[in-house]
Amino acid sequence: MLNIVKDFLLNLFFILLPIFTIPIWIEQRKVPKHIKQHLLTIFYSFVIILCITIPVGADKVSIFDLRQIPLWLGSLYRGIATSAFLCLVTIGYRSLFEGAGFFVTAVTSVLVMGTSIVLSKKFLQLPSKHRISLATALSAFSGIITIGLAELFHGIPSPSVLLSLTYLLVQPICMFIACSLKEMVYHNIALRKRMIRAEKMEAVSHLAASISHEIRNPLTAARGFMQLLEQHHLSPEKRRQYARIAIEELDRAEAIITDYLTFAKPAPETVEKLNVKTEIERVIDFIRPLANMNSVEVRATLAPFSIIGEREKFRQCLLNIMKNAIEAMPNGGVLQIYVSIEKRRVLIRISDTGVGMTKEQMERLGEPYFTTKEIKGTGLGMMVVYRIIESMNGTIHIQSEVHKGTEVSIYLPLSSSHLPQEVRKAKKIFAVL
């Protein structure tokens, strides 16, 4: 009896192992849907083969195993194609073995397939609890049919009566366990997906609220330049220049809205070659009024290295960092921007002499809604920075000391096919030396 229990437990283990591991593995690897379908079918086939190969009571006259459970599960959850394939695998593999059970296997497998084809669609629409009950009932039913057919055609020998009765009882119990666990695993995966989606939706709705705060700067700049346009003594050249800047600022405001709303998927859309120097200068121009307002001196040591990325997002990223730096120096200070090259990676270092951050604050940096600025902050700036740098295959390192300042170092891959002239010149000089 103990051996029988051990064998049944081993069969149950074969069934439970893929139920636990495969969906989680598929989820982590983000396997495409059509491949997922085939993978699950293949794993159910393996389970059937394992159950038939290592059955229960192999030393007795009659042999039983739990192959019907993966056959039912695969057929009910995966539909017609899987059902037909698993039925063929069961019959085909069983035909390799001797014994009178082949006929019974063939009849029950076709019966399982036929029933699943009829029920499969309705089965998936049932509530989880009903699915478990129905699968358990179906496995009990196919168990009875199996024993009935075996008795009818071969007559179950008396030493195997106990095994047959155990089988009748154990199969539905194992099906109940397997199906309940399967439902639990899928329920958890679905819950996690829903949570991630809800989190994104909440972030997006919060961003919508924070847009007014973020676009105030370009709007203020545009307004300032428009006011300048009102002056009568302006030369046509200056007038054109101010009008152009005002339009650019308004475009920027629009770009910020677009950027903030699409932050959820920061994959580059219009990727192009960017000149780090030009882009930083543009952001400095833009941020200068804010720096002046806070008595912050901006010092820049720039070099025209090329990187690959989305112009607006890159600017947005620099802007968020520089804005934080300026906001960290309410009583004035120095904002330093330094560009160099380190191991074929462009280094952009933005440092300030501001309030700095504690270790706890540093750990929470980039967490959505983490802000120490109360209603003035959104707590989204650094999160956007991390996302953008990640999408540009870059890395970011931050060092900070309370009351001393903060240093943000961004490393981005150098665009090698288009090395800027200065670098090429430098390379030539070094080659000559």
Closest to ligand ADP by CB, 339 or 355: 355
List the one residue out of 388, 255, 259 whose CA is nearest residue 321: 388
Q: Which does 138 bind (CB under 5 to 8 A by kind): Mg ion, ligand ADP, none?
A: none
Chain residue whose CB lies nearest Mg ion: 381
Q: Which two tokens stand for residue 310?
A: 């989305």
Closest to ligand ADP by CB, 368 or 413: 368
Is there a contact between 49 and 75 (Cβ–Cβ < 8 Å)?
no
Q: Which residues bind ligand ADP (CB under 6 A)?
A: 320, 324-325, 328, 352, 354-357, 361, 365, 370-373, 377-383, 406
Closest to Mg ion by CB, 139 or 324: 324
Q: SS3 for 408?
A: strand
Q: How far apart are CA 71 and CA 139, in angstroms?
A: 10
Q: SS3 for 332?
A: coil
Place of tokens 């882009």: 279
Closest separation between CB of residue 374 and ligand ADP, Å?
9
Q: On the CB side of 65, how many CA atoms lie within 13 Å of its CA? A: 22
Closest to ligand ADP by CB, 73 or 380: 380
Closest to ligand ADP by CB, 224 or 368: 368
Q: Which two tokens stand for residue 252?
A: 């920027």
Q: Which does 241 bind (CB under 5 to 8 A by kind): Mg ion, ligand ADP, none?
A: none
Cα dist. 340→169, 278, 343, 396, 433 in Å? 74, 14, 10, 15, 21
Closest separation between CB of residue 398 and Mg ion, Å?
13
Is 379 a binding residue for Mg ion by CB under 5 A? The answer is no
Q: Which does 406 bind (CB under 5 to 8 A by kind): Mg ion, ligand ADP, none?
A: ligand ADP
Closest to ligand ADP by CB, 365 or 392: 365
Closest separation between CB of residue 373 and ligand ADP, Å?
4
Closest to ligand ADP by CB, 164 or 336: 336
Q: Which does 370 bind (CB under 5 to 8 A by kind): ligand ADP, Mg ion, none?
A: ligand ADP
Q: How far apart are CA 189 and CA 23, in angstroms?
A: 8
Closest separation between CB of residue 364 and ligand ADP, Å?
8
Closest to Mg ion by CB, 221 or 365: 365
Closest separation between CB of residue 380 and Mg ion, Å?
8
Is there a contact between 57 and 163 (Cβ–Cβ < 8 Å)?
yes
> Among residues 11, 142, 324, 415, which is the contact residue for Mg ion, using CB under 5 A?
324
Is 381 a binding residue for Mg ion by CB under 5 A? The answer is yes
Piece of the chain touching Mg ion by CB under 5 A; list 17-25, 293-301, 381-389, 425-433:
381-389
* 91-96-100 Cα angle (round to 5): 75
What is the helix, strand, coil percentage profile of the chain, to 5? 70, 10, 20
Contact letters for Mg ion, residues 203-242 (x by CB under 5 A): ----------------------------------------
The residues pairing with 345 across neighbouring beta strands, listed in sequence order, are 342, 413
Cα dist. 422→192, 203, 419, 428 in Å? 50, 42, 8, 10
Phi, psi of 56 (to 5 degrees): -95, 135
Q: How far apart are CA 365 and CA 347, in angstroms?
A: 20
Is 75 a binding residue for Mg ion by CB under 5 A? The answer is no
Closest separation between CB of residue 13 and ligand ADP, Å?
49
Tell me which residues touch Mg ion (CB under 5 A): 324, 381
